[in-house]
């Protein structure tokens, strides 16, 4: 039985690929209504763990549960609506911002789309903009708005600010804080230790596929483990 307030529970999760162990017997809880940062050096298994949470990757052994239910028991398309992933590089799928926000929600009304843009710190007037003309920061925030359009319960973010300038990164961080304050669970992969300290409530530290520490983000020792 998972603890109350747990979004995900990983039970002895191992991932092997091409003879390599990417995750090794990981046991961890990821809380709901909080920002959890996955930190650690390159190749530690952070992105692999993130992709397990909406079944873009599968464990070789062990079990991942979402809200107490094993992931294999859930319809994968429904899971990905409830657990949305935004990758490190923004990928826009249409020629116009409004159409991009409607990719996963064809019935999205223009008023709601405008509100989503404003929620991620972009002006409503951007709806008619061509996606080809957006800056990296604007494109990343449009991807965030597109993910939010399907009203997920969890948002997975893989290095969402790594390619952004300081102002755009700050805007994305502000959006993440607002989303968590509104009850959304966010799981964030980050190499940026100061960023994890600023926005995360909970931290999982990975090294060589193993979970070496877990706990509150304000515990600096945990974050230093990941550097």
Question: What would the pLDDT profile of 87-125 be if each residue is shown by its tens digit?
Answer: 888 899 999 999 999 999 999 999 999 999 998 889 999
**Would you place residue 196 in the very low, low, confident or very high pLDDT band (cuts 50, 70, 90)?**
confident
Residue 38 in contact with residue 190, Cβ under 8 Å?
yes
Q: Which fold has domain 6-91+153-225?
A: Rossmann fold (3.40.50)
CB count within 10 Å of CB 14 equals: 15
CB count within 10 Å of CB 123 equals: 10
| DSSP code, position 71 | G
| DSSP code, position 96 | B
Sequence spans of domains, the chain: 6-91+153-225
Residue 16 in contact with residue 45, Cβ under 8 Å?
no
| DSSP code, position 2 | P
Dihedral, CA of residue 3, residue 31, residue 220 and residue 170, to nearest 10: -170
């Amino acid at each position: 039985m998972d603890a109350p307030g747990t979004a995900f529970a990983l039970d002895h999760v191992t991932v092997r690929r091409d003879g390599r162990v990417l995750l090794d017997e990981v046991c961890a809880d990821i809380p709901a209504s909080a920002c959890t940062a996955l930190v650690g050096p390159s190749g530690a298994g952070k992105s692999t763990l993130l992709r397990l949470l909406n079944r873009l990757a599968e464990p070789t052994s062990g079990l991942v549960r979402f809200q107490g239910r094993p992931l294999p028991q859930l319809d994968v398309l429904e899971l990905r609506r409830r657990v949305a992933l935004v990758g490190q590089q923004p990928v826009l799928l249409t020629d116009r911002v409004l159409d991009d926000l409607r990719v996963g929600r064809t019935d999205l009304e223009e008023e709601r789309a405008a509100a989503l843009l404003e929620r991620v710190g972009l002006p409503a007037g951007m709806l008619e903009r061509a996606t080809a003309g957006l800056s990296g920061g604007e494109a990343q925030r449009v991807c965030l708005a597109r993910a939010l359009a399907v009203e997920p319960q969890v948002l997975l973010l893989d290095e969402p600010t790594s390619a952004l300038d300081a102002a755009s990164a700050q805007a994305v961080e502000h959006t993440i804080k607002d989303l968590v304050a509104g009850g959304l669970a966010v799981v964030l992969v980050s190499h940026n230790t100061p960023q994890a300290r600023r926005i995360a409530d909970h931290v999982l530290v990975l090294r060589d596929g193993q979970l070496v520490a877990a706990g509150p983000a304000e515990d600096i020792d945990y974050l230093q483990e990941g550097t």
